[in-house]
Amino acid sequence: MLTSYGLADGRLTVAPDGQTDDDAPVPIWHDLLSPSRDELRILSDRLGVDLPSQAEMQEIELSARLYVEDGAVFMTASVLSALDTAEPVMAPLTFVLTDSAVITLRYHEPRAITTFTRRAARSAMDCNTPQQLLVSLLDAIVERIADVLERESATLDRIAREIFRKDATNPRGGVDLAAMLGEIGRRGELNSKLQESLVTLDRIAAFLSQLSLGRTLPKSARARLKSLSRDVRSLTDHAGFQAGKVTFLLDATLGLVNIQQNGIIKIFSVAAVVFLPPTMIASVYGMNFEVMPELRWPLGYPFALSLMVLSAVLPYFYFKRRGWL
């Protein structure tokens, strides 16, 4: 699907079918969402650029993601979408900057693009040139990542409080450590994807900064680009801190799992030791010897039972006194 946008009173306005007439605004942004071959060909012919295919967008070489061709600047970032679902999607998003417009080529729907479109349609933004529009789009994506990192930070704090509860190792009423491991794993996977996205955005910001030395870029856009670079680096540092926290929580949870398992094994071990003397006494009196005085003693049966109970109680209190239970 091809959607073109122009500016009217500083706000983004849709140009139907990517065409303009005398009263319609000149398109400054062409958004391609899962485009067909005909849409790619039409826009390529109209703007004189060779748009990459979906397979080419997946390439990870730096030369395939950041390059200049036929006067247009091609930049591909890894951007997350469906962040509010159980399975976030990481997919490439290509920006093409020409002298007259910005092209975004994508096969998924990041919320940052949708939010930016709605915001720019409601109120005037600093998008008077394609360069300013591109910086605004990048800024919207970075802002979305910042929001997700803040949410993930709160989630990790909640997980930490649950893990370090006093009864965390208690199988009854404690923490479900198996489920907690799964949640920590999902948080770690999302954090690593956010880090990957920030790395690609940082490369784009650096690439644009180098190009701006030889290109005409408004002063406000250059200032916003510098601010964008600082934001990306600070978010990268924060994501790295959260990665360390995820590792710490994972190690702590595995340690609690070991403690819980050791507690269960200890209970079985103590039970085996407690019942070992009564078992030995019962084995002795179960032997078929002809000469065994207690067999003909009227109090022999109560005596044997009492001896078994006593042999079980004494080890229990001994372990309790030593603090082993």
CATH of the domain at 208: 3.30.460.20
The pLDDT score that the predictor gives to residue 133 is: 85
User: How many contiguous H segments (helices) and E segments (strands) does the chain have?
Assistant: 8, 7
Residue type, 36: S
Rounded Cα distance between 229 and 217, Å, is: 16
The pLDDT score that the predictor gives to residue 276 is: 84
3-state secondary structure of 23: coil
The residue-averaged pLDDT of 187-216 equals: 83
The pLDDT score that the predictor gives to residue 198 is: 92
pLDDT reading at 237 higher than 90: yes
Query: Do 253 and 269 reside in the same domain of the chain?
Result: no
**pLDDT confidence bin for 248, thresholds 50/70/90:** very high
pLDDT reading at 21 higher than 60: no
Q: Tell me how crowded residue 43 is: count the other CB atoms within 10 A of its CB.
A: 21
**How many domains does the chain divide into?**
2
Query: Do 253 and 278 reside in the same domain of the chain?
Result: no
**pLDDT confidence bin for 305, thresholds 50/70/90:** confident
Query: Do 45 and 85 reside in the same domain of the chain?
Result: yes
**pLDDT confidence bin for 17, thresholds 50/70/90:** low
Of 41-45, 58-62, 124-128, 238-242, the poorest mean pLDDT is in 124-128
The pLDDT score that the predictor gives to residue 238 is: 92
Rounded Cα distance between 154 and 164, Å, is: 16
The residue-averaged pLDDT of 80-89 equals: 80
**pLDDT confidence bin for 16, thresholds 50/70/90:** low
**pLDDT confidence bin for 18, thresholds 50/70/90:** very low
Structural domain boundaries enclosing 279: 263-321
H-run or E-run covering 57: helix 54-57
Query: Do 227 and 214 reside in the same domain of the chain?
Result: yes
The residue-averaged pLDDT of 257-282 equals: 80
The residue-averaged pLDDT of 182-190 equals: 89
User: Which CATH number does the domain housing residue 272 bear?
Assistant: 1.20.58.340
Query: Do 305 and 157 reside in the same domain of the chain?
Result: no
Query: Do 249 and 317 reside in the same domain of the chain?
Result: no
pLDDT tens across 312-323, in order? 888 778 777 776
**pLDDT confidence bin for 325, thresholds 50/70/90:** low
